[in-house]
Structure 1
Amino acid sequence: MRWEIKKKLQQLRDSELPLIQIKEYGSALVNFALVFPNTYNIGMTNLGFHSIYREVNKRKDSLCHRAFFFGKGFKPYTIEAQKEISSYDIIGFSISYEMDYINILEVLKESNIPLLARDRDFPLVMAGGPAVTFNPEPLSLFFDFFVIGEGEEVIHEIMEVLENNKGAKKNDILEMLSQIEGVYVPLLYQKDRGRVKKRYLRNLNDFFTETAVFTENNEFKDMFLIEISRGCGRNCRFCMAGYCYRVPRIRDLEIVLKRAEFAKKFTDKVGLVGAAVSDYPDIERLSRELMKRNIKFSVSSLRADSLVSPLLEGLSFSNHKTLTVAPEAGSERLRKIINKGIGEEDIYKAAEGAFKFGIKNLKLYYMVGIPTEKDSDIDEMIVFLKNLKYFMINIGNKTGELTVSINPFIPKPFTPFQWFGMEKENILEERIKRIKSTLKPSGIKVINESPRLSVIQASLARGDRESGNLILKAHQRGGKTSDFKNIDINGKDIYFYAYRNLDLYEELPWDIINMGFDEELLKREYKKALKGESTSPCTKEKCKLCMICEK
């Protein structure tokens, strides 16, 4: 082991406070290496990663250790044992982001593990997480099996198969795993078996989805993370989380408060995690109770139309200096098309409400390249942002910063916008440049995601099994994002996958997945988008009557 990696691993281990029992390597029947294919700081902010780590280590006959991507040329070792991941019985990757796909191949290569699933025996290599739930096909060449959906329950069924069949042949184990609902084995998949049904938790209260190892070496520093809700019923047509994590569920208030009290033993601040924290039904009481108990808090996401005074007061109490909301689209017309459900007035009210509680800075998230977007939509966005800056000054907020974050729209599987192609890179560059140059004189800061990288992300999100060879070729050429350019497989390159419009009735690569809702839903929402028609949010009452989602 290179000394700098050994030193780094030891420093990270020394800075950690495990909140669960850590088992020694080899002390259990099945040894599981859980890998996050990005940096330690990013991986340790991922609650899905924490959750699987907790669940495997709860088992008597299994243990779980963690590994991360430390950069090209660095062999991955586990934090707990400083062992090569190839020495474990099974390797599991937690995958949230398409741009990490290339890192996965680097991890396998540096571990001397054959890249292609068909070329290796043991250890087994599996994957789970949001990215592979909505489309595992671009990675199907490299993995023995995938978890489709939420992993807290199904991981126990997987580990039971491994514990009861240690020493069995690989194909026999894969055959047994393929019988588990929510497990997809690419090498054994046959259409006549039916689609792979997504797993989801019916009751969040049955599991702790929270920080399992406390460390300040993460993106949120000294925060203890607690999931308070999962899924979203707002029906935004571009949003993968809103469709892949149906039905929307919440964690009971008393359980959230109990876990926040537990967190006080280690820190004075908790992070509340959910698709739309301000939509949590008991957000007012939760905010008041956390303040009453002297627990500061942060939130993962807010909606401008569901901000309430106790929440804003709580954020101010917690020393928040910036309110972050996402209008997403630059014009009222586009917000109707994406079914965002908020208007300019909601943003004005949010800015004014935040300022009343001393939160002066405002950050807004937008997308460019939304289907049917025109120059006039960008014009409307620019006018609104200038007016918003003047509004902030006129209410007395003369020192507050207005920051705009712009991300290219990326069509995702299992959303009503999956059939739209991505906007061309040069047009995105041009629109972003115009927004920046026009808003800069008004003192508005604009930051943006790279359109070039977004094209790669879109191509991987919408890829098929054949596109896995694009990832393999890019890896073989060096593994940089620039290596995706000027390569193709049978005439198909990243632009083919990113830009093309899909036919409403063609077979899609991800059709092998049963996401748990009526197949016609997405088509209906696609057609409503083109008409600018809205869809009302899902509510508890509406959910009892609606037959779209499988209960």
Structure 2
Amino acid sequence: MNWKLRLKMEKLKEQETNFVPEKSFGSVPVNVALVFPNAYELGMTNLGFQAIYREINSRRDSLCHRAFLFKGFPPYTIEALKPLSGYDIVGFSVSFEMDYLNLLKILDDAGIPLFACERDNPIVIAGGPAITFNPEPLSPFVDFFVIGEGEEVIHEILDTFRENTGRSKEYILEKMAQIDGVYVPSFYEVKYGNKGDVEEFKAVPPAPLKIKRRWVKDLDAFSTETAVITPNTEFKDMFLIELSRGCGRNCRFCMAGYCYRVPRARKMERILERAKFAARLGKKVGLVGAAVSDYPKIDELVKELVRNDIKFSVSSLRADSLSESLIEGLSSSGHKTLTVAPEAGSQRLRNVINKGITEEHVLDAVKLAGIYGIKNIKLYYIIGLPTETDEDIEEMIEFLIKVKEKMAEGKNKDGILTVSVNPFIPKPFTPFQWLGMENLTSLEGKIKKLQNHLKPKGIRMLYESPRISQVQAALSRGDRDTATLLYRVYRSGGNLTALKRFEVEGKNVEYYAHREFPLDAVLPWDHIDIGLSKEYFIREYQKAIEGKTTRRCTEEICRVCRICTK
């Protein structure tokens, strides 16, 4: 092992406070290397990654160590400084499509064959948000995927592995395929049509035809919070606690809103208990959820946090559910910037995407922030949304100038207005999954127009390159042939932006990112069952095109997607 890497990893471990206790074993444990395919600093901010680490180590028969991407060095685990090839299971937590190439690099640098069909051990698994909505681009490289939330199913996987230790890999995979939420790609055959689109998807028994997404019904049964504190992350002074999971707002562009349904909230008493624990450590509490301001008891929780002198921050807010007590609490905790997401440039377009907020909501939020001393405002927008026109962009510019003027008139007149702009990426399992991404020339023109109008007004603008977004779109909408593109790019020594130089069977980045599907097409991810019917998505797509909205989910009556009744 390279001595520079050893020193770096030993220093990282020494600076950690690990809340997962060490233990002794009566027999040889199942050894798992849990890998985040990006930098340590990013991986240790990921609550899902830390939750699975905690769950595996909660068992008396299993041991989990963490590994990350350290550029220029082969991968070793933080806890044991041990190569990945020495573990029984290597599990990847994959949140972003842009990390796919890193997964290949980590396997290769560890001396583990890239293709699942060429290795007997270790068994390689993968889960996480990017995997749940479309695992196909990684299917030749991974032995099996976890579809959905992992806190419960990881125990079933470990039980199955232990019960069948010593058996052949094929036999173990047959057993894994019978677990709800486990997808073993080698037991499925894909047939393509003349134009390269998926024509048929067949399952080989005992694998099921559809893989059911796993979701945790009782969040309070699991501790989804910081398991390891480290000063080497962006949130070094913060203890993260999951407040809620899932979202019932029905925003039509948002994959997470559908893949993490049903909306669930943790008990306030439990959250407050863990917040007090964090405060005793001298840490600020980071409340994590799809929309923290939607938490049913948010005002009551904030009042208790303030009463106990517990500083807190939030991961996300909605302009239409902000309350005065929440803003006051954030201000008392030292918040300097209020972040909300109008998403679309006009009210017409917000109706198309079913965002559910108005300009008045945003302006009220800006005013309220100023009253309580939060001077800076950050707004998130998406460009290239379905049906978007030049008029929508112009309306967006007019509104942003209005926001800046309102700030100048109010108590946040010295504040900075920042606008973050990202190209729309059509995601699987959303009502827009049939549509292609807007062409790059058009998107680049819109970005230039925004810059030309906003910069003279003193509005700061951040944006993601449409070319990077195009790669993300291609990977998120890919099929098994996309894996060949990934492999060729990796072997060529290029990065993901080099994908555009390659094609397979006439399919390239442009094909995957911009293609449109007929509503009756077989989609590359149709074998995944997230609990929502394709008919539901078609209805939402048609309502979007007509500019009709859908009400938010409520606990009292389930009449929208009806997933709660299944």
Identical aligned residues as a percent: 58
Give the whole-Å Cα distance in 1 for the aligned partners of 2:502 and 2:356: 41
Aligned residue number for residue 341 of structure 2? 326
Aligned residue number for residue 104 of structure 1? 103
Q: How many residues are paired up?
A: 550
2:211 equivalent to 1:212: no
Aligned residue number for residue 273 of structure 2? 258
Give the whole-Å Cα distance in 2 for the aligned partners of 1:333 and 1:228: 32
Do the aligned partners of residues 25 and 14 (structure 1) sit closer, same or farther apart at CA in structure 2, a change above 3 Å counting? Answer: farther
Aligned residue number for residue 515 of structure 2? 500
Aligned residue number for residue 486 of structure 2? 471
Give the whole-Å Cα distance in 2 for the aligned partners of 1:330 and 1:455: 21
TM-score (norm 2): 0.95
Amino acid at match of 2:203: K
Answer whether contact 1:124 1:144 (CA < 8 A) is retained.
yes
1:266-318 deviation per Cα after TM superposition (whole angstroms, max 9, x unaligned)? 23301000000000000001111111111111111000000001110111011
Shift of 1:222: 1.2
Residue in structure 1 matching 2:416, options 395, 398, 401 = 401
Aligned residue number for residue 139 of structure 1? 138
Answer whether contact 2:262 2:563 (CA < 8 A) is retained.
no
Shift of 1:468: 0.7
Amino acid at match of 1:111: A
SS in 2 for 1:151: coil
Shift of 1:546: 6.3
Shift of 1:23: 5.1
What does 1:148-547 correspond to in 2, within 5 Å? 148-189=147-188, 190-191=202-203, 193-543=208-558, 547=562
Aligned residue number for residue 42 of structure 1? 42
Answer whether contact 1:39 1:70 (CA < 8 A) is retained.
yes
Amino acid at match of 1:149: G
Shift of 1:194: 2.2
Greater shift after overlay, 287-296 or 143-152?
287-296
Answer whether contact 1:516 1:550 (CA < 8 A) is retained.
no
Answer whether contact 1:413 1:462 (CA < 8 A) is retained.
yes
Give the whole-Å Cα distance in 1 for the aligned partners of 2:257 and 2:75: 34
Give the whole-Å Cα distance in 2 for the aligned partners of 1:422 and 1:281: 36
Give the whole-Å Cα distance in 1 for the aligned partners of 2:305 and 2:519: 48
Shift of 1:481: 2.5
Shift of 1:166: 1.5
Give the whole-Å Cα distance in 2 for the aligned partners of 1:517 and 1:420: 19
Amino acid at match of 2:59: R
Give the whole-Å Cα distance in 1 for the aligned partners of 2:507 and 2:212: 29
Shift of 1:430: 1.2
Do the aligned partners of residues 304 and 525 (structure 1) sit closer, same or farther apart at CA in structure 2, a change above 3 Å counting? Answer: same
Answer whether contact 1:49 1:94 (CA < 8 A) is retained.
yes
SS in 2 for 1:419: coil
Shift of 1:188: 1.5
Shift of 1:232: 0.2
SS in 1 for 2:70: coil
Answer whether contact 2:374 2:412 (CA < 8 A) is retained.
no
Give the whole-Å Cα distance in 2 for the aligned partners of 1:371 and 1:27: 57
Shift of 1:437: 1.5
Unaligned runs of 5+ in 1: none
SS in 1 for 2:125: strand
Aligned residue number for residue 118 of structure 2? 119
Answer whether contact 1:227 1:273 (CA < 8 A) is retained.
yes
Aligned residue number for residue 59 of structure 1? 59
Aligned residue number for residue 17 of structure 2? 17
Answer whether contact 1:224 1:267 (CA < 8 A) is retained.
no
Shift of 1:102: 0.5
1:380-436 deviation per Cα after TM superposition (whole angstroms, max 9, x unaligned)? 000110111011111243211100000110010000011110011121111111101
Shift of 1:544: 7.8
Give the whole-Å Cα distance in 2 for the aligned partners of 1:137 and 1:406: 28
Answer whether contact 1:24 1:81 (CA < 8 A) is retained.
no
Aligned residue number for residue 198 of structure 2? none
SS in 1 for 2:501: coil
Give the whole-Å Cα distance in 2 for the aligned partners of 1:465 and 1:546: 30
Give the whole-Å Cα distance in 2 for the aligned partners of 1:115 and 1:372: 42
SS in 1 for 2:558: helix
Do the aligned partners of residues 544 and 330 (structure 1) sit closer, same or farther apart at CA in structure 2, a change above 3 Å counting? Answer: closer
SS in 1 for 2:541: helix
Unaligned runs of 5+ in 2: 189-201
Shift of 1:524: 0.3
Answer whether contact 1:25 1:31 (CA < 8 A) is retained.
no
Shift of 1:22: 3.3
Amino acid at match of 1:161: T
Give the whole-Å Cα distance in 1 for the aligned partners of 2:81 and 2:565: 44
Give the whole-Å Cα distance in 1 for the aligned partners of 2:496 and 2:562: 43
SS in 2 for 1:543: coil
Aligned residue number for residue 191 of structure 2? none
Give the whole-Å Cα distance in 1 for the aligned partners of 2:95 and 2:119: 25
